[in-house]
Structure formats: structure tokens, C-alpha cells
Amino acid sequence: MNMYFDISLAEGYKSAAQKTRVLSEAWVTENVFCPCCGNPHISKLENNLPVADMRCKKCGEVFELKSKNGNIGKKILDGAYETMIERISSFTNPELFVLQYSPDYAVTDLTFIPKFFFVPNIIEKRKPLPPTARRHGWVGCNILYSNIPEQGRIPIIRGGRFIDKDIVVNKYVKVKSIQTNNIESRGWLFDILNCVNSIRSELFTLKEMYGFITVLHDLHPENNNVEAKIRQQLQVLRDKRFIEFLGNGVYKKII
Ligand SMILES: [Zn+2]
């Protein structure tokens, strides 16, 4: 497998952002399978759509690609805030690939984020552009990458090596059971999942979960019964086979 971008494709493009886009898209369509259905290839879409870059011809899922030289960090710069919120609220946002490459243009990491992991809490509104800017007043957004639960950041390439296709597709199929059309309840579910993930041991207790009440209340100030919400979302995670109830307020993570 050739992990390097084909630099010759960038000839004629002036901006660094355009070059990266052309090179990384070409590489992904040449080398990456569809993480939703396992189709060996994903096809490039014409660039007349506002966000979507690629589409799987077998399952029809549409993907957007964001690429970065080096580490992703905590946030990913995205487009207009209002558009993003509208898309995630109307379920028209695409699946997301996050690609990292080295200074010599070799792909090091590729992560797949299923579209239903996008909830308002992971979208950060940026400050409006200042009066001196050409598009002054325009409001962009950041994707708070590190706030997405680890179950929603499915690795496809790590350290320059592909993860087995079956492992990737199985992970996707499992997390897909989390998908609901109610964006608010999904937001709650991911916040509770983040709390569960932050507990290191395989076993944990309801009492430990109640330790997150303040954090959760800050995220959802409108809710006055966070304890009940925690219990309810733990039941959802149990029904989706992410955790097991062992009785007496003790839970076990299902890896
Ligand atoms: Zn597919």
C-alpha cells in the first residue's frame, strides 16, 4: 500500500488548502474502503455540492474529508455555524473522515466519525469576523473533536497502517445502534458515554456516575433532574449492549 499522496496532482493549484484537498481526496478515493458497508472503494463526487466530497456507490453514504498536516488537536475548523447546526438538526450532514499526514505527505492516521455523532454540544460557535475582514460579521464554527466519545472516532488507519476492514465495519454497525432521530437525547447519551469512558476501570457504580452531576448540569442547565437522566441513559446504553447491569448499582463496560 502506497501511503504517499501523488504530489503531481497538485500542479496548477496555488493555495495550500486547495492542494491538500485535491491530494487527500485523490488518495482516499484510491485507497480507502467504505467503513459503513465494506465496499472496497469510495467515489469522488463533483464539487458542486456544498459539503460532500465522496460517496459510496454501494450503500449511498456520503462523506466529507478534512485533512491536517500533523496532529488534529482538540478542535477542527469548520464552515458557517448556522449552516452546521441546521445540517445536524435536519440529519443532512455527511459522514466525516479526519485524515492526518506527515510533512512529507504520507498518510499517518485516518479516523471515521459517523454523522449521528454530530450534536450541538460538539459544535463551537466562533467569534464573528471583525469589521476589517472581507466577510465581516460572518460566524464560523469548530468541531470539538476531543468531545466526541471514543466510540464515535473509529480508526481506519493508525500509525501508517490500515485497521482490518471487518473490525472497522463491525465497530460502525455496533455504534449505529445508538442512532436516534432525537438530537437532544443523542446529546445526552454521548455526554453520559463520555462520563463512562472517563472511568478507567471496567466496572463502575451509579455513585461514581453521580459524581458527574455538576459537569452534566453545566452542559444541560435546563435539566433539573440530572440523576434521573443519568439512570435513564445508562438504561439506553444497557439496551444497546454498551454496558451490563450487574445489580446493586454496579455496571460493567462491554468492550
Ligand atoms: Zn458503503
Q: At what angle do helices 183-198 and 226-239 cross, to 10 degrees?
A: 90
Distance (angstroms) between ligand 1 centre and the Cα of 42 equals 7
* CATH topology identical between 7-176 and 183-253: no
**Class for domain 183-253, per CATH?**
mainly alpha
* Whether the model pTM is above 0.75: yes
Going from the Cα of 202 to the center of ligand 1, the distance in angstroms, rounded, reads 33
As given in the structure block, the three cell numbers for residue 162 are 490500515
Q: How far is the CA of 31 from the centre of ligand 1 (A)?
A: 14
The CATH number that domain 7-176 falls under is 3.40.210.30
C-alpha–C-alpha distance, residues 17 and 140, integer Å: 17
Domain map (residue ranges) of the chain: 7-176, 183-253
- CB within 5 A of ion ligand 1: which residues? 34, 36-37, 39, 56, 58-59
**What does each of the 255 residues of the chain score in pLDDT, given as a tens digit?**
899 999 999 999 989 988 999 999 999 999 999 999 999 999 998 766 666 689 999 999 999 999 999 999 999 999 999 999 999 988 889 999 999 999 999 999 999 999 999 999 899 999 999 999 999 999 999 999 999 999 999 999 999 999 999 999 999 999 998 888 888 889 999 999 999 999 999 999 999 999 999 999 999 999 989 999 999 999 999 999 999 999 999 999 997
Cα-to-centroid distance, 135 and ligand 1 (Å): 37
By the 10 Å C-beta count (0-12 exposed, 13-18 middle, 19+ buried), 119 is classed as buried
Query: Count of alpha carbons within 13 Å of 11, Cβ hemisphere only?
Result: 3
Distance between the two ends of the chain, CA-based, in angstroms? 30
